[in-house]
Structure 1
């Protein structure tokens, strides 16, 4: 990272070095073959910088965010060499160029400064902005926005990063970096919301590795996933693998994400290639998606990624706590104007978000003209429904039309799109924009340009995207959005939107989007069309589509066919198809058939039909045990239910405990019901809380029900409200029901976008 240094300092404070080496300018690290000479020169430059600014060591310590002892030892001729993190902090506080100072430090340790064939480049040669650390908001001056400690920034230059405040997650990162310096390979992914400081924390953490000659590799071109997969086998010892926004690597389509996860696992477990340090960042929603166990009947899309992330995540808070704010205030008093300005204007401890320009982004959106706001809402809806990062302009233009009222649309001028684009692409603090044009380099092959090859594409600002996920979560996109998606988006985007349309009961668009995906050869689309056909009673058409998908190798289609045969009374055909699916690795069919037979058996028992008990034991149980043997944990839950209904409570609990130990949260719900039946309310609530903490949305309703049964209506409502605030739609309905029963007529539900009956006031 380059930090502005006054010309006077460069000329007048290096006299000793110039006279000693006769360079007539700044001294290069090649002039210092002797580590002792390099350390002496390093301290001379730091001391000269301190004198130039008229700071004593105590003032310098406050300004750099360091302890007084650390500064004293860094400048003392009798102490050991300072760490790279200390040198970096002092350089920023003294407005010195950090690269030459870290290069001198590398010469002290004798670490090599470059390597011709290794991936990446030395850490000291990286600029944090090139690693996607967010530019910080400037400080307002009479002439506009300037920088932090260094004053105004010239045209074309970015404000320097403000002083860094260490928090709890930094200690965990430091422990991993220490392990890396001791020769142990490590990986960690920082999980936090947009603009919470994930990338900056990673940047600060790797600074100590610079003095040991470590390199940093950021796979990026032609796409992140392709670059990672192409070169990860070349990663060698003492390399930081930088996976910022790791969803672009681990969540890459076409199986790329799973292959990257497998390659990372191979890297982490190969002693000959270590030590390496793999650093990644993720938003919480991506981390949840990648680590969640698949629901019954759903494909397991991220098994390797889930294994890779297990035990390798560090959570970042959305805001600074009291201790961290105290440290920020100390740095502000010591002269960091960026932090001082942020303290005056941030809210609820969200300091990093302000520095990244988030409040201005939201203000610009909320005050945008109707055409500009329509473009942004179309972009927000596209991203929250999992359309790719790069949104084609042709899509945005067409989609925006129904976001305008009739009067707004009728009064559009002929160049409305150009005016709206000029408005939304204007940069705000920190050089962020509501929408940013994505430009492909002329040297980039056409095959890698994706949607940009068909025309201009734009990317929505990260923070605005996350703002839209919250503010528009109950809003369903209008017809022009789905129409534009059908005609203007890629096949992978169409698949995501088909799911979204189906979930929002937009069956017409779900059908046509799935049909377009199926026409392009997507067998998953065929299975979804099968469900839609079956839902409207077209069993013949549904079975024809399922056969088509099964012939293409889709095991889920085999499971669907097995269900159809079972419902039609063809148990022999159902068993054959279910076993065929299981042999291909899909055990869900066995579980589904067993569940259907359990329901049929329950009806037989109720009707006192002969042989019901034998069918219960020999039919459904056999299927479930085979499915469980194949690793299907939900089959264990069904088996526990079956055994419990048959009166074998001990066997049921043993099987449910086995499922719970594998991470199945439905097993926790089953065990909670058993404890409730036994009158052990405390243990039942503990199990339900475990399930809720693990992300099981059904647990909230059962927790509320349990609280109501013991007479704690206030506690039940508090649980429902907390879950509703976290985005749990089932909890919204529960909250509405409780308020209605309490005679409050939906009081307060407007904040969630619900009417007094608990229904969405606008379709979501």
Structure 2
């Protein structure tokens, strides 16, 4: 709607009159017209209101004209006359385009499943209207939409926000984001969808150009945040800067992720292991919104009301979808599955090769040459003998034909011609490989149904011949290794290493070191280190230490430590301890502890305890406990036990037990046993056993045996055996045999 001063009020009245006459002729009330035009009831009322001084938008008039069977051109001419000449809006700085100018399908909102003509609900004797294939059904808000709406309102009020929706394929993540930003369209906001030449490259190149009142659209955020060679971490850091820099705001960052990617990015690595997603994890912390796979009863009731009011797509979905997976049905998933199951043998072989490539680590776009080569061994002998010369072209044609909802099982990826000056490193457009993308839903179907299957030889051979991406090669090499296909894993690792993948370079270094080629091993490690791999610096340092180049080893450990490797700090500590430099060792421990390494906190605490500083030791253990290391509370309790502070020890054990540490429950049980509280000891041991600590009952049985309570010991041993620990019964038998009780 345009609310500025009118140029010609008479033209607006004429527009209202034409719309009203057509509505009466069609016999529709405004609610029915809203359903037929897929506009809101408020928008329709404003378009017909003689008292309102707002002019309907061109899109609104287009929808009303289609619903009322009117020619839209006269309506648009009246609209132009009502508004009068207007200045061209200034193009705001930065990147993106007005939200109102965006196409939801271009932003990767799934087109909805088409409704078979025989299911269309229409008034008797009314002519059938041509139906747009890309039209979206009415939106049904769910619980996550309220959270998103609050974030959007906060952003509109001037405070930058980020939200990443997490859900399986076709659960409505992208549509929810699209609906959420609609209130910003009328407030002059832009939307920027970085995708060219690749999503990660586009984001990294232009994030610093994002201006205020911009939505940063990161659909399938794994392509940005999970980009290899540290690019994902750099994008996360740039997004953090954008969100926290008041000069850039307000901005709204919206993304979507599949659950497995969200778990991968947010799970803390084990102490001492590399942390490849630390910045991504910080960025996502507290900003993930999970979408359910199913509609709940309230959402289904709301959908039913819209279906009863005339939304044919929702009615069709309610009638045919299973297990309340309505968004998946609307996105055409059942048709994709039917196409897969009914495919010709050749087409099915190509699809399964694509499924296996994606689940084993290949990137989104698969080379056509790989698919043709890989598919051969997926075919049985009879099917292979019957192939025609153009079998692969026929298979691609079959798989590229869209199902309902404009989705295809396997679709060619078209890239625009390069529009920047060519340089020596540029690839001519004609030399670029032809790429294909597997439908998301079939990708997830393959992950579920083929997870125990190992691809045939043609798959691995094709991967080695046709993949060139260092990360793709390394992921597939790792998958081959995990499946004991070492005859393919080794050449894949070699190719990935020579392409520059740092994980593969470390593998190559190990192979060369095993073969006695220490110089070659060090060269491979050095290449990986120069590419920013801190694990490679650690390997270099260890190799130099084994060669007794202590100065070189310490320098490499120090470089890794400067690159935030707490493991390197611990290796530095060990070197300095062996050299007798206890002061230097403690300083390195302190650096590792300050970086959050709980192992370093433990070691420092033990050093303080040995030096007689119990208070300092306990403070360090408490620091470790405050970041989730419940074993530190066990050390605190043991210190207190050694100091005969039994009350304090029991309190520390109880804190650890309350935090889920089953060893603490066992220690509490032993303390109670020693004080003669057999019932309390057994209750705690049973609690530890119920939490999965089968050794708890075993230890308690031993204690009862030593105290002479043979019946109690045997009862506890049998309880331990019943939950899987038969060692307790064996130990009792041995004890009694020694006592002569044959």
- TM tier relative to shorter chain: 0.7 to 0.9
2:593 matched to which residue of 1?
A: 628
State which of 367, 384, 399 in structure 2 corresponds to 1:424: 399
What residue number does 2:737 align with?
none
1:186 aligns with 2:186: no
3-state SS of paired residue (2:201): helix
* Paired residue secondary structure (1:131): coil
Change (3 A) 1:407 1:68: closer
2:6 to 33, 43, 59: 33
1:374–1:81: structure 2 CA closer, same or farther, 3 Å change rule? Answer: same
Deviations along 1:89-137, whole A, 9 cap, x unmatched? 9979968999999x999x99x9998333544333222222122111100
Q: Structure 1 residues 395, 490: closer, same or farther in 2, change over 3 A?
A: same
- Give, in angstroms, the shift of residue 487 of structure 1: 1.5
Change (3 A) 1:641 1:148: farther
User: Number of aligned pairs?
Assistant: 655
The answer (yes or no) to whether the contact 1:83–1:208 under 8 Å persists in 2 is no
Given that 2:345 and 2:379 are in contact with CA atoms closer than 8 Å, whether structure 1 keeps it comes out as yes
Q: Which residue of 1 aligns with 2:712?
A: none
Aligned to 2:509: 530
> Deviations for 1:535-583, whole angstroms, at most 9, x for unmatched residues?
7898787556446655777542231244456678887775554334324
Cα distance in structure 2, aligned partners of 1:198 and 1:42: 38
The verdict on how the C-alpha distance between 1:555 and 1:276 changes in structure 2, with shifts beyond 3 A counting, is closer
* 549 and 342 in structure 1: CA distance in 2 versus 1, 3 angstrom threshold: closer
Structure 2: how far apart are the matches of 1:186 and 1:151?
48
Aligned match of 2:372: 397
Q: Which runs of 5+ in 2 are unaligned?
A: 639-648, 663-686, 698-720, 727-742
What is the CA distance between 1:458 and its match in structure 2? 0.6
Q: Does 1:473 align with 2:451?
A: yes
Tell me what 2:98 maps to.
122
- Residue by residue over 1:673-711, the C-alpha shift from the partner in whole angstroms, topping out at 9 and shown as x without a partner, is 99999696896475479xxxxxxxxxxxxx997534479
Name which of 279, 282, 292 aligns with 2:254.
279
> Do structure 1's residue 210 and structure 2's residue 180 form an aligned pair?
no
Give, in whole Å, the separation in 1 of the partners of 2:127 and 2:176.
24
Deviates more, 1:324-333 or 1:401-410: 401-410
SS of residue paired to 2:239: helix
Note the aligned Cα RMSD (angstroms).
5.2
In 2 relative to 1, CA 205–648 (structure 1 residues): closer, same or farther, beyond 3 Å? Answer: same
Match of 2:142 among 145, 158, 167: 167
Which moves more between the two structures, 87-96 or 502-511? 87-96
For residues 270 and 618 of structure 1, do their structure 2 counterparts lie closer, same or farther at Cα, with a shift above 3 Å needed? closer
Indicate the residue corresponding to 1:225 in structure 2. Answer: 200
- Judged with a 3 Å threshold, the aligned counterparts in structure 2 of structure 1 residues 151 and 191 are, in CA distance, closer, same or farther, namely farther
Tell me the distance in 1 between the aligned counterparts of 2:438 and 2:158.
41
SS at match of 1:433: coil
Identify the match of residue 110 of structure 2 among 134, 140, 164. Answer: 134
Aligned 1:674-753 pairs, distance under 5 A: 684=657, 686-687=659-660, 707-709=691-693
Q: Which residue of 2 aligns with 1:371?
A: 346
Task: Go from structure 1 to structure 2 and tell me whether the alpha carbon gap of 1:130 and 1:548 turns closer, same or farther (over 3 Å shift).
Answer: closer
The corresponding residue for 2:535 is 556
The residue correspondences of 1:442-453 to structure 2 (distance < 5 A) are 442=417, 453=431
What does the per-residue CA deviation read over 1:206-226, in whole Å, with 9 as the maximum and x for residues that have no partner?
A: 222222232323233333333
| In structure 1, distance between residues paired with 2:451 and 2:39 | 43
> 2: distance between equivalents of 1:148 and 1:120?
40
* Rg comparison, structure with higher value: 2
2: CA distance between counterparts of 1:55 and 1:649?
84
Q: Hey, what does 1:344 align to over in structure 2?
A: 319
Moved more, 118-127 or 159-168: 118-127
CA separation of 1:741/1:300 partners in 2, compared to 1, >3 Å: closer, same or farther? closer
DSSP-derived class of the 1:277 partner: strand
Cα distance, 1:739–1:413 mapped onto 2, change above 3 Å: farther
What SS does the corresponding residue of 2:256 show, helix, strand or coil?
Answer: strand
Task: Give structure 1 stretches of 5+ with no counterpart.
Answer: 1-27, 602-613, 690-702, 714-737, 744-764
Alignment of 1:542-621 (within 5 A): 542=521, 545-546=524-525, 549=528, 554-564=533-543, 575=554, 577-591=556-570
Quote the offset at 1:437 in angstroms.
1.1
The alpha carbon displacement at 1:378 in A equals 1.5
CA, structure 1 residues 517+51, in 2 after alignment: closer, same or farther (shift >3 Å)?
same
Residues 293-328 of structure 1: per-residue CA shift (max 9 Å, x gap): 344555443343333323332221111111101111
Q: Point out the more displaced range, 645-654 or 249-258.
A: 645-654
| Partner secondary structure for residue 691 of structure 2 | helix
Distance 1:130 1:482, change over 3 A: same
TM-score w.r.t. structure 2 length? Answer: 0.72
341-350 or 575-584, which deviates more: 575-584
Judge conservation of contact 2:695–2:725 (CA < 8 Å) in 1: no
Contact kept in structure 2, 1:675 and 1:683, CA below 8 Å: no
1:496-546 Cα distance to aligned partner (Å, 9 max, x none): 223333344444433322222322344442222234556789878755644
Go from structure 1 to structure 2 and tell me whether the alpha carbon gap of 1:491 and 1:207 turns closer, same or farther (over 3 Å shift): closer
Distance change >3 Å, CA 176–CA 83, structure 1 → 2? farther
Deviation at 1:162, TM superposition (A): 0.6
Normalising to structure 1: TM-score of the pair?
A: 0.70
Q: Using the TM superposition, give the Cα deviation of residue 448 of structure 1 relative to its aligned residue in structure 2, in angstroms.
A: 7.6
> How many angstroms does 1:341 deviate by?
0.8
Structure 2 residue corresponding to 1:197, chosen from 172, 176, 200: 172
Counterpart for residue 7 of structure 1: none
Question: In the alignment, what sits opposite 1:658?
Answer: 623
**Secondary structure of the equivalent of 1:128?**
coil
Distance in 1 of aligned mates of 2:66 and 2:614: 68
User: How many angstroms apart in 2 are the aligned matches of 1:674 and 1:224?
Assistant: 50
Residue 112 to residue 324, structure 1, CA distance change in 2 (3 Å): farther
Give the 3-state SS of the residue equivalent to 1:480 in structure 2: helix
Aligned to 2:223: 248
Deviation at 1:192, TM superposition (A): 1.7
What residue is the counterpart of 2:643 in the other structure?
A: none
**Contact kept? 1:392, 1:451, Cα under 8 Å:** no
Deviation, 1:199, is 1.4
Taking a change above 3 Å as real, the CA distance of residues 251 and 534 of structure 1, as seen in their structure-2 partners, is same
Equivalence for 1:11: none
Measure how far apart 1:430 and its partner are: 0.5
| Distance change >3 Å, CA 453–CA 321, structure 1 → 2 | farther
